[in-house]
């Protein structure tokens, strides 16, 4: 990367930072990292497409989508995002690149492939004169291509070069062996950020996050409320703080908060408890928040 293209800070847009339980304030998971104009998306939970547009992030501006795992609170808006991005593509917009553990490829095919759930939708948009006219008015060229995306299934230890960053795939500990669960470290010219998705406390996450600018981690509840089963796949407040302290990160960004953690008074206790262990910046994530990293 040339010196002229170096970006010392990144913008992280918190699109969704909730759980499978919908609340008026938060529902599902989605983050967008903006690096020198290139936008990398992590997960695609409920309402992600709509919420991104509200934040000024059109689907066509996303170049890469990374899935941490395939629970519905992390992927249920995937067909909406794919179809919306394809429908508004025009010449010069690069093909979306999608990464995740299996069954990312199978899921994509079953949604938008030739025998997928939404095949009737995109066939009509390609073939009907009214749809062709709308597409051409948006700058598209008829005949329009069918939906096509570059989908790669990845595993811990893999690396993806995006053009402005290098994404290293790490191991999260969530609901194995039923589901593959990944974490990501994004290194760019100005630093690094680690996005865990859902994970319990894990040495591999600490290694992945060493000396990063920020660790973005799910925090389900206060530590005293975390049963052994919960702690095997989710972080409590002190789990997150101790991982951030051990990794030596500058900032701890709390996302995917359980409903109890977000209640008035409960949130303040969570921040105070974490601050007793981690001495860096603590950000209690909210949807529609944009952070400079």
Structure tokens given for 166: 């290098």
| Residues 69/172, Cβ–Cβ less than 8 Å | yes
**Pairing assessment for the beta strands 29-35 and 38-42 based on DSSP bridges:** antiparallel
pLDDT, residue 262, reads 87
Rounded CA separation 228/212 (Å): 29
Size of the chain in residues: 293
Q: What is the pLDDT of residues 51-70, one digit of tens each?
A: 999 999 999 999 999 999 99
Please, what's the largest Cα pairwise distance for the chain? 63
pLDDT in tens, 179-225: 999 999 999 999 999 999 999 999 999 999 999 999 999 999 999 99
Q: What is the pLDDT of residues 255-276, one digit of tens each?
A: 999 999 988 899 999 999 999 9
Is 33:186 a contact under the CB 8 Å cutoff? Answer: yes
pLDDT band at 231 (very low <50, low <70, confident <90, very high): very high
Residue that the structure tokens 């996050």 belong to: 209
Residue spans of alpha helices (H) in the chain? 48-54, 72-75, 78-87, 104-112, 119-127, 129-137, 203-208, 228-231, 237-247, 266-275
- Measuring CA to CA, which residue among 211, 99, 254, 86 is closest to residue 161? 99
If you ran DSSP here, which 8-state letter would residue 27 be given? Answer: -
For residue 174, give the DSSP letter.
Answer: S
Cα–Cα distance, 66 to 75 (Å, whole number) = 10
Residue 63: the pLDDT is 98
Look at residue 6 and tell me whether its pLDDT is greater than 80: no
Residue 91: pLDDT band by 50, 70, 90 thresholds?
confident
Counting beta carbons within 10 angstroms of the beta carbon of residue 97, is it exposed (0 to 12), middle (13 to 18) or buried (19 or more)?
Answer: middle
Domain boundaries, the chain: 11-292
Tell me the mean pLDDT in the region 146-156: 97
pLDDT tops 90 at residue 2: no
Look over the chain and give the mean of its residue pLDDT values, rounded to a whole number: 95
Residue 138 has pLDDT above 60, yes or no: yes
Residue 8: its pLDDT value, please? 66
Question: Is residue 241 within 8 Å of residue 273, measured between CB atoms?
Answer: yes
Helix (H, G, I), strand (E, B) or coil at 2: coil
CATH class of 11-292: alpha beta
Cβ neighbours around 271 below 10 Å, total: 17
> In this structure, what are the phi and psi dihedrals at residue 227, rounded to the nearest 5 degrees?
-70, 170
């Amino acid at each position: 990367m040339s010196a002229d293209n170096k970006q010392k800070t990144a913008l992280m847009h918190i699109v969704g930072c909730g759980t499978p339980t919908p609340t008026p304030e938060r529902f599902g998971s989605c983050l967008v990292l903006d690096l020198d104009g290139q936008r990398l998306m992590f997960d695609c939970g409920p309402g992600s497409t709509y919420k991104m547009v509200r934040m000024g992030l059109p689907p066509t501006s996303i170049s890469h989508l990374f899935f941490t795992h395939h629970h519905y609170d992390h992927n249920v808006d995937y067909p909406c995002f794919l179809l919306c991005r394809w429908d508004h593509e025009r010449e010069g917009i690069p093909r979306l690149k999608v990464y995740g553990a299996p069954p990312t490829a199978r899921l994509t095919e079953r949604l938008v492939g030739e025998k997928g759930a939404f095949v009737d939708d995109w066939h009509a948009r390609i073939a009907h004169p009214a749809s062709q006219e709308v597409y051409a008015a948006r700058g598209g060229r008829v005949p329009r291509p069918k939906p096509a995306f570059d989908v790669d299934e990845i595993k811990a230890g893999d690396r993806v070069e995006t053009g402005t960053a290098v994404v290293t795939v790490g191991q999260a500990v969530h609901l194995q062996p039923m589901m593959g669960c990944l974490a990501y470290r994004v290194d760019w010219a100005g630093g690094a950020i680690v996005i865990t998705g859902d994970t319990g406390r894990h040495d591999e996450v600490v290694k992945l996050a060493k000396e990063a600018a920020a660790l973005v981690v799910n925090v389900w509840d206060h530590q005293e409320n975390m049963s052994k089963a919960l702690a095997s796949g989710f972080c409590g407040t002190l789990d997150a703080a101790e991982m951030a302290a051990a990794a030596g990160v500058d900032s701890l960004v709390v996302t995917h908060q359980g409903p109890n953690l977000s209640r008035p008074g409960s949130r303040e206790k969570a921040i105070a408890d974490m601050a007793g262990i981690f001495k860096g910046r603590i950000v209690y994530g909210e949807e529609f928040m944009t952070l400079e990293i």
